[in-house]
Structure 1
């Protein structure tokens, strides 16, 4: 028994396969025996694909990277946020906006009070 590696019609790695390479003994009509060693299937290779490849591809002599750079980059892209994450982000933005608006209102109220005080001091009959 030994492990071999199955490839598809594009010569891309599919899966490891256990292959029984034990000799097969058959008895002939004349009473003699014949021993044959099974051949590995055409869609398999004996050389293991190296670690680190995204889509190992067999070129007939060695394994190469079969994935395009765009494919590899897409695997490393940050995952898009789900609905809950989006709502959390929007909620945080709205809370910040609300706090900024509350501060603006408070500032405007203070300015309005200062103006009212100045007007009261300027008007005849107002406090001096």
Structure 2
């Protein structure tokens, strides 16, 4: 059966969820040395709980969870949280930009159509004048 635990960095900040296969993976073997009263150096090994793995999940609502003295705390200052949560300035969406561009193009097409109509009228007037004068 897989168990989900939570990895932290050397400063206690949450890194990622981790799946382990057994509770044995929560412990690591540590080799220690001790000096006896006679001055001999004795080596022994022991199992101790890994410092980078927490079994307790960080609670919802923390911006940057941090494990401190046996509990999850907020790892960001209030100023950092305020900066993250301040409203972003509204920028036009892609759709709004396309709508604005479309409206501008429609206005340009209308202006060109009016100019084309005026040129057609001017051309008709010139043809009429040339016909009246017998040039055509």
- Taking structure 1 as the reference length, the TM-score comes to 0.48
The TM-score with structure 2 as length reference comes to 0.46
Higher strand share: 2
